[in-house]
Protein backbone atom coordinates (compact mmCIF):
# COMPACT_ATOMS: atom_id res chain seq x y z
CA UNK A 1 0.00 0.00 0.00
CA UNK A 2 1.37 3.36 -1.04
CA UNK A 3 1.72 5.81 1.83
CA UNK A 4 0.47 9.38 1.69
CA UNK A 5 1.82 12.85 2.42
CA UNK A 6 -0.30 15.66 3.86
CA UNK A 7 1.57 18.94 3.42
CA UNK A 8 -0.69 20.93 5.76
CA UNK A 9 -2.30 19.92 9.06
CA UNK A 10 -3.03 21.35 12.51
CA UNK A 11 -2.93 18.30 14.76
CA UNK A 12 -2.41 20.52 17.80
CA UNK A 13 -5.96 21.85 17.36
CA UNK A 14 -8.16 21.26 20.42
CA UNK A 15 -10.41 19.18 18.15
CA UNK A 16 -7.88 16.37 18.73
CA UNK A 17 -7.49 16.81 22.48
CA UNK A 18 -9.41 13.64 23.30
CA UNK A 19 -7.62 11.22 21.00
CA UNK A 20 -4.47 12.88 19.58
CA UNK A 21 -2.01 10.11 20.48
CA UNK A 22 -4.32 7.39 19.17
CA UNK A 23 -4.73 9.26 15.88
CA UNK A 24 -0.95 9.86 15.58
CA UNK A 25 -0.33 6.16 16.07
CA UNK A 26 -2.80 5.27 13.32
CA UNK A 27 -1.29 7.86 11.00
CA UNK A 28 2.20 6.48 11.57
CA UNK A 29 1.11 3.44 9.50
CA UNK A 30 -0.78 5.20 6.70
CA UNK A 31 1.30 8.33 6.23
CA UNK A 32 4.78 8.85 4.83
CA UNK A 33 4.77 12.41 6.16
CA UNK A 34 2.54 15.09 7.66
CA UNK A 35 3.63 18.72 7.90
CA UNK A 36 2.26 20.24 11.09
CA UNK A 37 1.77 23.98 10.60
CA UNK A 38 2.01 26.17 13.67
CA UNK A 39 -0.94 28.51 13.82
CA UNK A 40 0.36 30.67 16.68
CA UNK A 41 3.46 31.26 18.82
CA UNK A 42 1.71 29.34 21.60
CA UNK A 43 1.95 26.22 19.45
CA UNK A 44 5.71 26.35 18.74
CA UNK A 45 6.62 24.11 21.70
CA UNK A 46 3.92 21.65 20.70
CA UNK A 47 5.19 21.47 17.11
CA UNK A 48 8.76 20.81 18.31
CA UNK A 49 7.46 18.10 20.63
CA UNK A 50 5.51 16.37 17.83
CA UNK A 51 8.41 16.40 15.35
CA UNK A 52 10.71 14.97 18.00
CA UNK A 53 8.37 12.15 18.97
CA UNK A 54 7.03 11.10 15.56
CA UNK A 55 9.46 10.48 12.70
CA UNK A 56 6.74 11.01 10.06
CA UNK A 57 5.82 14.47 11.40
CA UNK A 58 7.62 17.54 10.07
CA UNK A 59 6.96 21.09 11.14
CA UNK A 60 6.35 24.56 9.76
CA UNK A 61 7.03 27.37 12.21
CA UNK A 62 5.71 30.89 11.67
CA UNK A 63 3.13 33.45 12.71
CA UNK A 64 -0.32 33.17 11.12
CA UNK A 65 -1.95 36.47 10.04
CA UNK A 66 -4.74 36.02 12.58
CA UNK A 67 -2.15 35.82 15.36
CA UNK A 68 -0.04 38.93 14.75
CA UNK A 69 -0.97 40.66 18.04
CA UNK A 70 2.06 40.73 20.31
CA UNK A 71 4.50 40.04 17.46
CA UNK A 72 7.91 41.70 17.95
CA UNK A 73 11.62 41.22 17.22
CA UNK A 74 11.82 38.46 19.86
CA UNK A 75 9.15 36.51 18.00
CA UNK A 76 11.20 36.70 14.81
CA UNK A 77 14.36 35.61 16.67
CA UNK A 78 12.51 32.65 18.13
CA UNK A 79 11.30 31.60 14.66
CA UNK A 80 14.85 31.92 13.32
CA UNK A 81 16.18 29.78 16.18
CA UNK A 82 13.59 27.00 15.71
CA UNK A 83 14.23 26.89 11.95
CA UNK A 84 17.69 25.45 12.73
CA UNK A 85 16.07 22.09 13.50
CA UNK A 86 16.18 20.07 10.28
CA UNK A 87 12.71 18.64 10.97
CA UNK A 88 11.31 22.17 10.67
CA UNK A 89 10.95 22.30 6.91
CA UNK A 90 9.18 25.61 6.28
CA UNK A 91 8.27 29.08 7.49
CA UNK A 92 4.51 28.87 7.92
CA UNK A 93 1.86 29.42 7.98
CA UNK A 94 2.17 33.08 7.09
CA UNK A 95 0.23 35.48 4.90
CA UNK A 96 -2.70 37.88 5.04
CA UNK A 97 -6.24 37.32 6.26
CA UNK A 98 -8.79 40.11 5.82
CA UNK A 99 -11.78 37.89 6.50
CA UNK A 100 -11.50 37.72 10.29
CA UNK A 101 -9.60 40.94 11.03
CA UNK A 102 -8.94 43.72 8.54
CA UNK A 103 -8.21 46.73 10.75
CA UNK A 104 -4.55 45.73 11.22
CA UNK A 105 -3.44 45.43 7.59
CA UNK A 106 -0.15 47.26 8.18
CA UNK A 107 0.86 44.96 11.02
CA UNK A 108 -0.15 41.87 9.00
CA UNK A 109 1.99 43.10 6.12
CA UNK A 110 5.02 43.73 8.34
CA UNK A 111 4.81 40.28 9.95
CA UNK A 112 4.36 38.67 6.53
CA UNK A 113 7.32 40.53 4.99
CA UNK A 114 9.61 39.82 7.96
CA UNK A 115 8.93 36.12 7.59
CA UNK A 116 9.30 36.13 3.80
CA UNK A 117 12.71 37.74 4.27
CA UNK A 118 13.66 35.20 6.91
CA UNK A 119 12.70 32.34 4.60
CA UNK A 120 14.79 33.83 1.79
CA UNK A 121 17.75 34.25 4.15
CA UNK A 122 17.48 30.66 5.38
CA UNK A 123 16.59 29.27 1.94
CA UNK A 124 13.45 27.60 3.31
CA UNK A 125 10.05 27.34 1.66
CA UNK A 126 7.09 29.39 2.90
CA UNK A 127 3.51 28.24 3.42
CA UNK A 128 1.19 31.07 2.43
CA UNK A 129 -2.33 31.63 3.77
CA UNK A 130 -4.56 33.97 1.77
CA UNK A 131 -8.08 34.86 2.77
CA UNK A 132 -9.70 37.75 0.93
CA UNK A 133 -6.26 39.33 0.47
CA UNK A 134 -5.08 38.01 -2.89
CA UNK A 135 -4.40 41.41 -4.43
CA UNK A 136 -2.13 42.50 -1.57
CA UNK A 137 -0.40 39.13 -1.41
CA UNK A 138 0.45 39.28 -5.10
CA UNK A 139 1.71 42.85 -4.72
CA UNK A 140 3.98 41.82 -1.83
CA UNK A 141 5.26 38.61 -3.45
CA UNK A 142 6.41 40.64 -6.47
CA UNK A 143 9.11 42.09 -4.20
CA UNK A 144 10.70 38.69 -3.54
CA UNK A 145 12.29 36.81 -6.36
CA UNK A 146 13.67 33.34 -5.82
CA UNK A 147 11.13 32.61 -3.08
CA UNK A 148 10.21 28.92 -2.66
CA UNK A 149 6.91 27.78 -1.28
CA UNK A 150 3.28 26.74 -1.45
CA UNK A 151 0.03 28.68 -1.76
CA UNK A 152 -1.93 26.74 0.80
CA UNK A 153 -5.54 25.71 -0.02
CA UNK A 154 -5.37 27.44 -3.35
CA UNK A 155 -8.80 28.52 -4.64
CA UNK A 156 -7.74 31.38 -6.92
CA UNK A 157 -8.38 31.74 -10.62
CA UNK A 158 -6.14 31.00 -13.58
CA UNK A 159 -4.43 34.41 -13.51
CA UNK A 160 -3.52 33.98 -9.87
CA UNK A 161 -2.37 30.43 -10.55
CA UNK A 162 -0.14 31.56 -13.37
CA UNK A 163 1.39 34.29 -11.19
CA UNK A 164 2.23 31.75 -8.48
CA UNK A 165 3.56 29.22 -11.00
CA UNK A 166 5.67 31.89 -12.72
CA UNK A 167 7.21 32.64 -9.35
CA UNK A 168 8.32 29.01 -9.20
CA UNK A 169 5.94 28.23 -6.37
CA UNK A 170 3.49 25.36 -5.84
CA UNK A 171 -0.32 25.25 -5.62
CA UNK A 172 -1.74 23.29 -2.67
CA UNK A 173 -5.08 21.50 -3.20
CA UNK A 174 -7.33 20.46 -0.34
CA UNK A 175 -10.73 18.91 0.32
CA UNK A 176 -12.79 21.69 -1.31
CA UNK A 177 -11.82 20.12 -4.65
CA UNK A 178 -14.20 17.22 -3.88
CA UNK A 179 -17.18 19.49 -3.15
CA UNK A 180 -20.09 19.82 -5.57
CA UNK A 181 -18.98 23.37 -6.33
CA UNK A 182 -15.19 23.62 -6.15
CA UNK A 183 -15.09 27.08 -7.76
CA UNK A 184 -11.97 27.60 -9.86
CA UNK A 185 -10.13 24.63 -8.48
CA UNK A 186 -10.83 22.11 -11.26
CA UNK A 187 -9.85 24.64 -13.89
CA UNK A 188 -6.56 25.66 -12.26
CA UNK A 189 -5.70 22.05 -11.51
CA UNK A 190 -6.13 21.14 -15.19
CA UNK A 191 -3.94 24.09 -16.09
CA UNK A 192 -1.15 23.54 -13.52
CA UNK A 193 1.84 21.39 -14.49
CA UNK A 194 2.00 18.02 -12.71
CA UNK A 195 5.25 18.84 -10.98
CA UNK A 196 3.90 21.97 -9.27
CA UNK A 197 0.85 20.75 -7.36
CA UNK A 198 0.60 19.58 -3.77
CA UNK A 199 -1.90 17.68 -1.65
CA UNK A 200 -3.09 18.82 1.75
CA UNK A 201 -5.96 18.62 4.25
CA UNK A 202 -5.81 21.66 6.55
CA UNK A 203 -7.05 19.21 9.22
CA UNK A 204 -9.18 19.51 11.31
CA UNK A 205 -10.96 21.74 8.76
CA UNK A 206 -12.31 21.24 5.23
CA UNK A 207 -12.96 17.48 5.15
CA UNK A 208 -13.32 16.13 1.63
CA UNK A 209 -16.42 14.30 0.42
CA UNK A 210 -17.47 11.68 1.69
CA UNK A 211 -16.22 12.91 5.07
CA UNK A 212 -17.53 16.44 4.61
CA UNK A 213 -18.88 17.93 7.86
CA UNK A 214 -16.80 15.62 10.03
CA UNK A 215 -13.50 16.42 11.66
CA UNK A 216 -10.78 16.12 9.04
CA UNK A 217 -7.64 13.99 9.42
CA UNK A 218 -4.45 13.76 7.33
CA UNK A 219 -5.21 10.34 5.81
CA UNK A 220 -8.30 11.88 4.16
CA UNK A 221 -5.88 13.25 1.53
CA UNK A 222 -6.70 10.00 -0.23
CA UNK A 223 -10.16 11.30 -1.27
CA UNK A 224 -8.71 14.53 -2.65
CA UNK A 225 -5.93 12.61 -4.43
CA UNK A 226 -8.56 10.41 -6.12
CA UNK A 227 -10.37 13.47 -7.44
CA UNK A 228 -7.09 15.01 -8.58
CA UNK A 229 -6.29 11.79 -10.44
CA UNK A 230 -9.64 11.95 -12.27
CA UNK A 231 -9.06 15.55 -13.29
CA UNK A 232 -5.48 14.89 -14.40
CA UNK A 233 -6.56 11.60 -16.06
CA UNK A 234 -4.11 9.42 -14.16
CA UNK A 235 -4.35 6.33 -11.94
CA UNK A 236 -4.77 7.25 -8.29
CA UNK A 237 -1.54 5.51 -7.41
CA UNK A 238 0.38 7.33 -10.13
CA UNK A 239 -1.13 10.64 -8.96
CA UNK A 240 -0.09 9.97 -5.36
CA UNK A 241 3.48 9.10 -6.42
CA UNK A 242 3.73 12.43 -8.23
CA UNK A 243 2.22 14.41 -5.32
CA UNK A 244 4.53 12.69 -2.84
CA UNK A 245 7.58 13.41 -4.92
CA UNK A 246 6.54 17.09 -5.27
CA UNK A 247 6.17 17.36 -1.49
CA UNK A 248 9.57 15.72 -0.93
CA UNK A 249 11.16 18.08 -3.45
CA UNK A 250 9.76 21.33 -2.04
CA UNK A 251 10.10 20.51 1.65
CA UNK A 252 13.20 18.33 1.48
CA UNK A 253 11.48 15.42 3.25
CA UNK A 254 13.78 12.45 3.62
CA UNK A 255 12.26 9.29 2.27
CA UNK A 256 12.57 6.39 4.67
CA UNK A 257 14.66 3.48 3.42
ZN1 LIG B 1 -3.63 26.02 8.02
**Mean pLDDT along residues 184-199:** 98
125: pLDDT confidence band, cut at 50, 70 and 90? very high
Separation of CA 229 and ligand 1 centre (Å): 23
* Exposure string for 213-229, b = 16+ CB within 10 A, e = fewer: eeebbbbbbbbbbebbb
Whole-number Å distance, alpha carbon 173 to ligand 1 midpoint, is: 12
Model confidence, pTM:
0.96
257 confidence band (pLDDT: 50, 70, 90): very low
Q: Ligand 1 centroid to 255 CA: how many Å?
A: 24
- Ligand 1 centroid to Cα of residue 96, in Å, is 12
- Rounded to the nearest whole angstrom, what is the distance from the C-alpha of residue 193 to the centroid of ligand 1? 24
CB 235 within 8 A of CB 229: yes
User: Alpha helices of 7-69 — where are they, by DSSP H?
Assistant: 20-30, 44-53
Q: Crossing angle for the helix pair 158-166 and 134-141, nearest 10 degrees?
A: 20
For the chain, what percent of residues have pLDDT higher than 70? 99
**pLDDT, mean of residues 227-250:** 98
User: What residue segments make up the domains of the chain, in order of their start?
Assistant: 4-251
* The pLDDT of residue 256: 54
pLDDT tens for 38-74 read 989 999 999 999 999 999 999 999 999 999 999 999 9
Q: Which residues does 137 contact at the CB level (< 8 Å), separation at least 6?
A: 95, 96, 128, 130
Confidence bin at 102 (pLDDT 50/70/90) = confident
Q: pLDDT digit string (tens) for 6-45? A: 999 999 999 999 999 999 999 999 999 999 999 899 999 9
User: Does the domain spanning 4-251 belong to CATH 3.40.50.1820?
Assistant: no
Quick one: CA torsion of 131, 91, 171, 66, rounded to 10 degrees? -10
From 90, 35, 92, 40, select the one nearest 66 (Cα to Cα).
40
Mean pLDDT of 134-161: 97
Is residue 1 pLDDT above 90, yes or no? no
Question: Is the CB of residue 93 less than 8 Å from the CB of residue 60?
Answer: yes
- 67 within 8 A of 36, measured Cβ to Cβ: no
Segment holding 208, helix H or strand E: none
According to the model, what pLDDT value does residue 255 have?
Answer: 60
pLDDT over 90 percentage in the chain: 96
> To 5 degrees, how large is the angle CA 8–CA 112–CA 93?
10
39 alpha carbon – ligand 1 mean position (Å): 7
Quote the pLDDT of residue 101: 82
What are the residues facing 33 on neighbouring strands? 5
CA dihedral 128, 95, 14, 254 (to 10 degrees): 30
Q: Summarize pLDDT for 197-235 with one digit per residue, the tens.
A: 999 999 999 999 999 999 999 999 999 999 999 999 999
What mean pLDDT value characterizes the chain? 96
**Interval between CA 146 and ligand 1 midpoint (Å):** 23
What was the pLDDT predicted at 212?
94
> Cα(100) to centroid of ligand 1, in Å?
14
Mean predicted confidence (pLDDT) in 169-184: 96
Residue of 127, 109, 140, 148 whose CA lies nearest to 60? 127
From the CA of 157, how far away is ligand 1's center (Å)?
20
Amino acid sequence: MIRLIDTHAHLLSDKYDNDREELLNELSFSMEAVIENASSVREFTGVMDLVNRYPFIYGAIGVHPEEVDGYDEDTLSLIRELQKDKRIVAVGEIGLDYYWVSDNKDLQEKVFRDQLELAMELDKPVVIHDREATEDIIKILKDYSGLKGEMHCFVGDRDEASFILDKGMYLGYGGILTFKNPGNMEDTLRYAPLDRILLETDSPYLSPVPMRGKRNRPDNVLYTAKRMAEIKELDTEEMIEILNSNARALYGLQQEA
